[in-house]
Structure 1
Amino acid sequence: MSDSTKQVTEHEVINYLKEHPEFFINNPGLLQQLTIGNPQGDVVSLADRKMLQLQTKNQQLAKQMKQLIANAQRSEGLMDRLFQLLTDLSMNAPKGEFVSALVGFIQKDFASDYFKLYLGDIKLSDDEVCVHYHSAQLKTLFASFNNNDAPLAGRLPAVKLKALFGDESAAQSAIVLPIGAKAAHGLLAFGSKDDQKFHPDHASDVLQKLAQILAVFFDSQAVNDGQQSQS
């Protein structure tokens, strides 16, 4: 078989285009002649397919930008209300009063299927059903906070979800934040039945502020308790 009648294989075409990426720049008219299919069996030109891909990407980017703006506006409003709450309260307030006020703020302003606050230094009351003692089991399960204070978010192991939200919960994803260095004062936990609600990249700035506020409060209480015991 002569070279003039030799069949060019698909593999050779692919290799040639890889080695000559400028081919379609030098031959732009070919782009309008090429057609490709999609999973639905429709055939469109390569240029039209590229345009559809760009439109889809632009729509996705627009949706993400809209969500970012909404989150920023919501966060700003939350921070304003949180500042007002702290203005109304005092770092010298009784522990139960301070925690109850903060719990009320969280329950009102943070939509979540499950919310739990685990504290190591609090007198529990029957009406605070979401506040629990920071047990040895939880300290063991979340021992990673001993080395890393970053929030833990995503589809956590079932044993951790049950320890946080109970055996009967249907939580599929969660975000857990340490209160104080090495979770010295406890844990702040939110859970969702949606396994995509909380993920490793979940924005948690406001939640981290809440955990920091609790940590500062309990640190200040510890200082006050120490000063009173010495007087």
Structure 2
Amino acid sequence: MDTANNSASKKNDSPSEEEVGRYLRNHPGFFLNNEDILAELKLAHKSGKAVSLLERQVEVLRERNMDMRNRLSTLLDNAQHNDLLFEQSKALILGLLEAKRPEELSNTLCRRLVADFESIDYASLILFGDPTRMGNQQLRVVSAAEADRHIGGLLRGGKGVCGVLRGEELSFLFGRAADHIGSAALIPIHPGGMQGVLAIASKDPQHFKSSMGTLFLDYIGDVIDRVLPRLIR
């Protein structure tokens, strides 16, 4: 009985895992003075093979180093992408500011959106008004009633829309190119006392999704709202 009690007492006297962990955290130099213990420690590896603590530490440091390098690479890629986007946006805005006529603004806008921005395959600018007064082969103007008939559902909320559109909506926005479009995005514009819509599209059905924001389009729309009225006589 005494032997059993002594054995149980020794077990109870053994430090818990939490106590051992707390001690090692408070004494980070412990293994420096006890290298023989360090050499004897074994840890389970992912492969099932036991490895020494030093080997495991080296592996952890190597994994952390690779993770940091991947993060740094991602940051650099994002920085380069943002620089390119800024330069493309600047060229687009300057082109709009230099336009002398409404159709020149429309042509510059659509051409640069498609040529400079990799994800945009088609672009369209449409104004709602009296086609007989403002009609131009290069600046598209349709009546508000016609626009409401074809894309009224997209404009109800007064905000930008992204996603897969119906065939009738695509045909109205992009004409013959509608059959090649997978997804699109559009925002309402309000140049002066007029209304209209700016739309862009991609051949990829997955590119423009309903969860996407329209910050870039909103920005371009704001520029159009300010520049176009002074070009309309």
Q: TM-score, normalised by structure 2?
A: 0.55
Out of 187, 199, 211, the residue aligned to residue 221 of structure 2 is 211
Are the structure 2 counterparts of residues 185 and 76 from structure 1 closer, same or farther at C-alpha, using a change threshold of 3 Å?
A: same
Q: Deviation of residue 142 (structure 1)? A: 1.0
Gaps of 5+ in 1: 1-20, 226-231
1:69 matched to 2:90: no
User: Could you tell me which of 140, 147, 153 is aligned with 1:141?
Assistant: 153
| Rg comparison, structure with higher value | 2
- How far apart are the structure 1 equivalents of 2:203 and 2:49? 40
Tell me the equivalent position of 1:180.
Answer: 190
Return the match for 2:124 from 102, 116, 120: 116
Encode CA deviations 1:91-142: one digit per residue, 9 max, x unaligned: xx443333334333334323322222222145231xx4x9564722344121
Number of the residue aligned with 2:10: none
AA paired with 2:161?
L
- Superposition CA RMSD, Å: 4.4
- Structure 1 residue 55, shift from structure 2 partner: 3.5
User: Does structure 2 retain, via aligned residues, the 8 Å contact 1:116–1:132?
Assistant: no
Matched, 1:95 2:102: yes
Output one character per residue of 1:188-214: Cα deviation in whole Å (capped at 9) or x when no partner. Answer: 111112234334346743x33321122
Distance in 1 between residues matched to 2:161 and 2:110, nearest whole Å: 20
In 1, Cα distance between the equivalents of 2:98 and 2:218?
Answer: 21
Residues 49, 105 of structure 1: CA spacing in aligned structure 2 closer, same or farther, 3 A cutoff? same
Q: Take 1:217 and 1:141, find their aligned partners in 2: how far apart are those partners?
A: 27
**Paired residue type of 1:109:** D
Percent of paired sites with the same residue: 16
**Does the CA-based 8 Å contact 1:185-1:218 persist in structure 2?**
no
